[in-house]
Amino acid sequence: MYKLDEILKSINQEYSIQNESVAKPIKYVKPLDEADEHSLIWIKSSKDDAVNIIKQTKAKTIICSKKVDIGSIHSDDKCFILVDNPRLAFHNVLKSLFSEKLDYSIHPTAIIHPKAKISENVSIGANSVIGDCTVEAKTVIEDNVKVFDGVKIGKNVKIEPGVVLGAEGGGYIKNSKGEYERIVHLGGVMIQNDVEIGANTTIDRATLGNTVIGSGTKIGNLVQIAHNVKIGERCLVISLSTIAGSSKIGDDVYLGPSVTISNGLNIGNLAYIALGSVVTVDVPDGGKVLGKNLTTNQKKNIKEAKISKNKSDIESRVKKIFKSTFPLEQNFSADSSPQNTQGWDSLGNLNFIVAIEEEFSTELPFEFQSGNVRVKDILNYLSNNEN
């Protein structure tokens, strides 16, 4: 059992506590409907019925959000640990006190290539086959994993059962007889530090160079990652997803369950690809793809995301030209127009239009030469027609 002070030390974030004296020693972590007085539970911050849950639970020690109105509960027989992020606090307790302590070892049935470089404190499970590769410290390779030659696995990596790393990808070419021949794959796979790879996932080796999984990326079960793919850092690739050959995934990208990424695409940093989406065009930084297939409307949304990303840069450059052309004008906004500025004349207006055309390597519509054109008309035109 764990005492309250042990729980509090494991939370690893700021907290306040109420009714500390009634806390019971903690023996279990259980679901809400199974908890007893020796169980630790947590309540989601978003739970509208948090107060009712607290009243009904048998648990005596509860981690919950500081936003919960504890005063309305009138429950002096429960101890409340109030934090900003209850889920993270509960996770930290589980990791510190309840998770299984790892005993690094190599199972006697594992087959390891004599030239393989295996660091100390590595665990390799039953029936796993490890080729001529590198495995760094604190990495866990579970049962029935196949690692081909030329794979590099970083530190603190977790590889679940059934994973295959470094098999040849599906690259074929037709010979002079019109028959398919497999393209020779001479590359490898590079798994960087703190990566997790779910059960029965396959990551193919590159034709040349490396297929790369960036540091901190977590990959679910039954994922297919083809040859020459490069995935950035801290990505989440959820189960049943497929990433076709030579695609590049940026940092902090989310790929939902059963997502398909077509070959040779670029998915920008912080992109969000929702469940079941089929992506056939590049996605910009921060772009979102929603739905089973990438429709014309979604392609429009991606274009608009690119426009949104570039608009601030375009506006900054237009503003600079505007201020340079009309130095007497103190105000600048989307509704500004040359004719309404101090010091306006037709020559100044023409200079303004020409300067913009030179800056953006474009030709503005003839009607924009009128002094009545507004800045926002120019911004919209440049955003929608930028190369």
Residue 239 sits in a domain whose CATH number is 2.160.10.10
Confidence of residue 204 (pLDDT cuts 50, 70, 90): very high
Question: Is residue 31 included in any domain, yes or no?
Answer: yes
Confidence of residue 122 (pLDDT cuts 50, 70, 90): very high
Per-residue pLDDT for 39 more than 60? Answer: yes
Per-residue pLDDT for 70 more than 70? Answer: yes
Contact 325, 355 (CB under 8 A): yes
Mean pLDDT of 129-136: 97
Distance from C-alpha of 73 to C-alpha of 358, rounded to nearest angstrom: 68
Question: Is residue 353 included in any domain, yes or no?
Answer: yes
Same domain, 366 and 281: no
Q: What is the pLDDT of residue 328?
A: 62
| Average pLDDT over all residues of the chain | 85
Same domain, 85 and 133: no
Contact 142, 106 (CB under 8 A): no
Which residues are registered as beta bridge partners of 309? Answer: none
Out of 71, 98, 125, a domain closes at: 98
Same domain, 375 and 358: yes
Q: Total structural domains in the chain?
A: 3
pTM of the model: 0.70
Question: Is residue 177 included in any domain, yes or no?
Answer: yes
pLDDT in tens, 76-119: 888 999 999 998 999 999 989 988 888 899 999 999 999 999 99
Q: For residue 384, which phi and psi values (nearest 5 degrees)?
A: -85, -10
Mean pLDDT of 1-14: 91
Contact 332, 376 (CB under 8 A): no
Contact 268, 302 (CB under 8 A): no
Owning domain of residue 85:
4-98
Same domain, 237 and 130: yes
Per-residue pLDDT for 331 more than 80? Answer: no
Confidence of residue 212 (pLDDT cuts 50, 70, 90): very high
* 38 catalytic residue (yes or no): no
Question: Is residue 199 included in any domain, yes or no?
Answer: yes
Same domain, 203 and 312: no
Question: Is residue 106 included in any domain, yes or no?
Answer: no
Q: What is the pLDDT of residue 387?
A: 47
Same domain, 238 and 310: no
Instruction: Single out the catalytic residue among 38, 91, 107, 227.
Output: 227
Same domain, 330 and 229: no
Three-state SS sequence of 71-117: HHCCCCCCEEEEECCHHHHHHHHHHHHHCCCCCCCECCCCEECCCCE
Question: Is residue 104 included in any domain, yes or no?
Answer: no
Same domain, 73 and 128: no
Q: What is the pLDDT of residue 316?
A: 81
Residue 11 is part of a domain; what is its CATH number? 3.40.1390.10
Same domain, 120 and 242: yes
38: CB partners within 8 A, 6+ apart: 1, 24, 25, 26, 27, 28, 60
Highest mean pLDDT among 174-188, 322-336, 363-377: 174-188
Contact 146, 129 (CB under 8 A): yes
Question: Is residue 105 included in any domain, yes or no?
Answer: no
Per-residue pLDDT for 223 more than 90? Answer: yes
306: CB partners within 8 A, 6+ apart: 284, 287
Which among 166, 109, 106, 115 is positioned nearest to 141, based on CA atoms? 106
Q: In what order do the strands lie in the sheet with 111-112?
A: 111-112, 129-130, 146-147, 164-165, 202-203, 224-225, 242-243, 260-261, 278-279
71: CB partners within 8 A, 6+ apart: none
Question: Is residue 103 included in any domain, yes or no?
Answer: no
C-beta pairs of 253-257 under 8 Å, 24+ apart in sequence = 257/220
Out of 63, 98, 133, a domain closes at: 98
Same domain, 218 and 78: no
Residue 317 or residue 85, greater confidence: 85
Out of 271, 299, 327, a domain closes at: 299
Per-residue pLDDT for 192 more than 50? Answer: yes
Three-state SS sequence of 340-367: HCCCCCHHHHHHHHHHHHHHHCCCCCHH
